[in-house]
Amino acid sequence: MSTKLIELGPHQLALEEPMYFRVKLEGDRVADLDVLPGQVHRGMEHLVMRRNFYQNITLLERLCSLCSNSHPSTFCAAVEEVAGITIPERAEYLRAVADEIKRIASHLFCCAVQANVIGETALFRRVMEVREIMQRAKEAIYGNRMDLAANVIGGVRYDLSVEGAAYLARQMEAMKQPLDELYLQYSNNPALLVRMAGVGVLPRAAAREYAVVGPVARGCGIDYDVRKKSPYGAYDRLEFEVAVQEGGDVRARNLVRLAEARQSVSLIEQCLAQLPAGPLCADTLPEIPAGEAIAKSEAPRGELMYYLRTDGSDMPVRLKWRVPSYMNWDALKVMLKGEPVANIPLIVNSIDPCIACTDR
Amino acid sequence: MHIQAEENAIVPVRLFRINTGSCNGCDVELAVTSAVTEFDVEQLGCRYTEAAREADILLITGPLTVRAREEVLRLYAETPQDKVTVAVGVCPVSGGVFRDSYAVDGPLERHLPVDVNIPGCPPRPQALLAGIAEALELRRARREGGAPVRRALPVDNFPARGRLSYDAGSCVDCRICRHVCAAGAIRFEEGETGVSLTLWHNSCVFCGLCSHYCPTGALSVTGDWRLDHPAADAFRQVERGEVPYAPCVGCGEPIIPAAPQLLHAAFRRPNPDIERLKSLCPACRQQMSIGVPRR
């Protein structure tokens, strides 16, 4: 059997981002692969240390635009921990609303791209049209379809008026039926099953070994969700079940995402129902003392961790991330081993890799 | 036997994308223009291609990282000579929030010529279509001769965050806007007659943090999102204004008087004594309140 090395880039893999792989093939099967990272390395660790806390909120929102609310909200949580700030209850709920809106849009984008990869163009367009309901809601409430600008240190800087909340509730109502329908499609549609079921399998033991997180882990039957394991913000007052699937394959990961998107709708409805009155953020600009803190959250791709160290000045002296895609893309080695070349784009997209987060 | 091409067959204009290290915001929105009917580039007679050599219009996103440069220039070299190059988002033009990083090698124009800019962070799909339409018009003008015509677009009243607007009349020169601006889009200059503010729309990321923290509402976010322009006009895309100096009524020293909006924010209902303070320099204010200037 012949062995050869090929290099695959974004144009072959249908990725929005420049991620390159060196794949070792035996015949037409994948024997091994190397990720060639760094194309999206913008020197974020360097930049955050040269920007003050306020500037970093906007900068970190642009660390990655698909999980763009998770970054500033987790960063603000770390700063608030250092400064001993308790954010108003209303702000906790509004942060959860922003996070869940982004989660729905992010998960749907991932499912859409995979449909496109396997040539299901009509389904791709359908999922993107459903996602548009969220995009429109984001623009109506926050003023931008990707970067919400919802967070400030000490709270949030957007509010939901009575009409705004009613509008969002209507958008959520409009999401329910399409999301249920998409779940059934990704679960039972024979054209999808033949490409996604049993493909790109990550056994549970390997999932633990590689410490994968988010939908990739939950698709392998690992019941781990930061919102449940160590609730932050309003999540200890919201009810939801962690979506878990046992298959460990591409199908399982997508079913986790679609179930989560449906749960996010319910979470947003709960937030709207419970939304307490009160201020949105602390009155004055807080002073940030010297200290260090870790904050974590459940981003759309999994557990996101921030380590922050401050020295009493208005700039961080150290900010370090552990982003979910870092562990998940390492596990691609296991998922791709023995798979035919034609399955590479699908499997790579099935982990919803975020290169912007990982390269930074 | 040969197959004859149909006389009137419309050949789509092909769009090719290069991501030079973006946060993927612009790229995801470009994907929307290939998937969502309302924003589909097919309404402009365009179609996306995955082959650089087929590019009629080249769409470039991201701040151009050092690591991506070689691959970007290789792809660029494969594109046809007569393509139109479009910088999508503010990153290729100015670096946006990633400016002055060791890992960023922009602006893009240092490496290759750009024809059209579409500011935004990311630009909304309507703005992308407007920018692509401008590129098409430029392409037509180049082929047929004549000047490109800028078409008016239907304006929706969606409350999107667009261009920032500056009202010098209510500015008190506190400069909190510059302090919180992640993109370095705001510059203050002290001149002979006053202090002027310049805000560059090709650096601004439209986050609105400046207007959030502005105590007097001098900076405000408008819904004007149509900012596409020929790349040659990049540095004309500014918002500008001057806060004039006025002499201190105590000593005549030129000062920036406090705007009524600031007094209102600080005191709710300012009385005549407070009103008088706004026309005094700090030294005269201290003289008036504690008898001596504070050291």
Instruction: ipTM value, please give it.
Output: 0.87
Does A135 lie at the interface with B, CB-CB under 8 angstroms? yes
The residue of chain B nearest to residue A353, with distances taken between CA atoms, is B24
Q: Is residue B277 part of a domain?
A: yes
Instruction: Please write the tens of the pLDDT for every residue from A279-316.
Output: 998 877 678 899 999 999 999 999 999 999 999 898 99
Contact between B207 and A354 using a beta-carbon 8 Å cutoff: no
CB contact under 8 A, A143 and B161: yes
> What's residue A359's pLDDT?
87
Rounded to 5°, angle at Cα A136 from A130 and A142: 140
Task: Name every chain B residue with its beta carbon within 8 A of the beta carbon of A167.
Answer: none
- Whether B160 maps to a domain, the answer reads no
Q: How far is B262 from chain A (nearest CA, A)?
A: 16
The distance of B42 to chain A (nearest Cα, Å) reads 14
Considering only CA atoms, give the Rg of chain A.
20
Cα–Cα distance for residue pair B21/A47, rounded to 1 Å: 15
B-interface mutation test, from A8, A12, A36, A40, most B Cβ less than 10 A away: A40
- Rounded CA separation A229/A223 (Å): 9
Cβ distance A143 to B121 less than 8 Å, yes or no, reads no
Residue numbers of the domain that contains B263: 245-295
- CATH (domain of B34): 3.40.50.12280
The pLDDT of residue B1: 47
Report the alpha-carbon distance of residue A55 to residue A248 in Å, rounded: 40
Closest CA to B262 of B250, B279, B245: B279
- Is A163 touching B (CB cutoff 8 A)? no
In a domain, B203, yes or no: no
Of B94, B120, B144, which residue is a domain's last? B144
Adjacent-strand bridge partners of A3: A26
Residues of B in contact with A360 (CB under 8 A): none
Q: Do A39 and B65 touch (CB under 8 A)?
A: yes
* A55/B25 Cβ within 8 A: no
Alpha carbon of B192: minimum distance to chain A alpha carbons (Å): 30
Chain B neighbors of A135, CB-CB under 8 A: 32
Q: Which of A13, A17, A42 to mutate to test the interface with B (most CBs of B within 10 A)?
A: A42
Residue A356 to residue B24, Cβ atoms within 8 A: yes
B219 within some domain: no
Residue A286 burial (CB count, 10 A): 17
Burial category of B269 from C-beta neighbours within 10 Å (exposed 0-12, middle 13-18, buried 19 and up):
exposed
In-domain check, residue B284 = yes
Using 50 as the pLDDT threshold, list the residues of chain B that sit under it: 1
Q: Where are the alpha helices (DSSP H) in chain A?
A: 10-13, 44-48, 53-61, 70-83, 89-117, 121-142, 162-188, 190-196, 204-209, 214-218, 226-229, 250-274, 324-330, 332-336, 344-350, 355-359
Q: B110, B128, B144 — which closes off a domain?
A: B144
* Cross-chain CB nearest to A47 (options B21, B98, B207): B98
Architecture of the structural domain at A40-359? Orthogonal Bundle (1.10)
Tokens at residue B168, please? 């010098």
Name every chain A residue with its beta carbon within 8 A of the beta carbon of B101. Answer: 42-43, 46-47
| Closest listed residue to residue A305, CA positions, set A251, A242, A229, A202 | A229
Alpha-carbon span B100 to B96, nearest angstrom: 10
List beta partners, residue B199.
B186, B239
The domain ranges of chain A are 40-359
Q: How many angstroms separate the CA of residue A203 from the nearest CA in chain B?
A: 30
pLDDT value at position A285?
A: 67
Query: Could you report the per-residue pLDDT of B245-269, keeping only the tens digit for each?
Result: 888 888 888 888 888 788 777 777 7
Q: Which of B28, B63, B181 sits opposite A66 (nearest CB)?
A: B28
Fill in the amino acid letter for B177.
Answer: C
The domain total for chain B is 2
Q: Flag whether residue B68 sits within 8 Å of chain A, measured between CB atoms.
A: yes
Select from A8, A58, A128, A141 the residue whose CB has the most chain B CBs within 10 Å, as the one to mutate to test that interface.
A58
Within-domain flag for B206? no
Tokens 């008036």 locate to: B288
pLDDT tens, N- to C-terminus, chain A (360 residues) = 688 888 787 777 767 778 888 888 888 888 888 888 888 899 999 999 999 999 999 999 999 888 899 999 999 999 999 998 889 999 999 999 999 999 999 999 999 999 998 989 999 999 999 999 999 999 999 999 999 999 999 899 999 999 999 999 999 999 999 999 999 999 999 999 999 999 999 999 999 999 999 999 999 999 999 999 999 989 999 999 999 999 999 999 999 999 999 999 999 999 999 999 989 988 776 788 999 999 999 999 999 999 999 998 989 999 999 999 988 988 998 998 888 988 888 998 999 888 888 888
Q: Do A132 and B38 touch (CB under 8 A)?
A: yes
In a domain, B231, yes or no: no
